[in-house]
Structure 1
Amino acid sequence: MRSEIMEYLEGQKELKEFIREQPFWYRKLSRNPYDLQSLQIASLHYYKKTIPHKVEKFSNSVQMASMMLNMFQSMNSQQ
């Protein structure tokens, strides 16, 4: 792999960890060193940091809070 790619990955700890977990990216970057954008997109999907993942996580949190609120309200109405 090219030295400038290695230097870039040294500054991006999450991408470096992703490459260690997905070793085929070593080969892919060795063949096409300017495919960093694909690497970043794949990393975002792997770590579930895309916008749809964040929206889903927020939605799940709201649903959980709503369920807890309903549970507390039902407990108070029973007393």
Structure 2
Amino acid sequence: MERHMLRSKRNTSNAFIGNIIFDDWKNDGKVDHASIITKISNGKIYVSQHNKNYKYRSLAAQRSAEPKMNIWIYRPKLEWY
């Protein structure tokens, strides 16, 4: 997967729409879930997941629900294919 990604980071300051977030809810080094950044408004990041109840859910709300959560943000390369 790394060869298809531009970069990974844990800092959200340079996140973009379309970035993939891998969540480690237990902070045990294992990915538990993934989501896509689908909206950024007034500095707040919103993600969408496979569940319709989590369309445009704020990343802050997700972190609040999972206080131990660690994330990795990946930016796909545009010319990955």
Instruction: Give TM-score scaled by structure 2 length.
Output: 0.28
Select the structure of larger CA radius of gyration: 1
* Larger RCO, structures 1/2 (Cα 8 Å, 6+ apart): 2
Instruction: Give TM-score scaled by structure 1 length.
Output: 0.28
More strand by share: 2
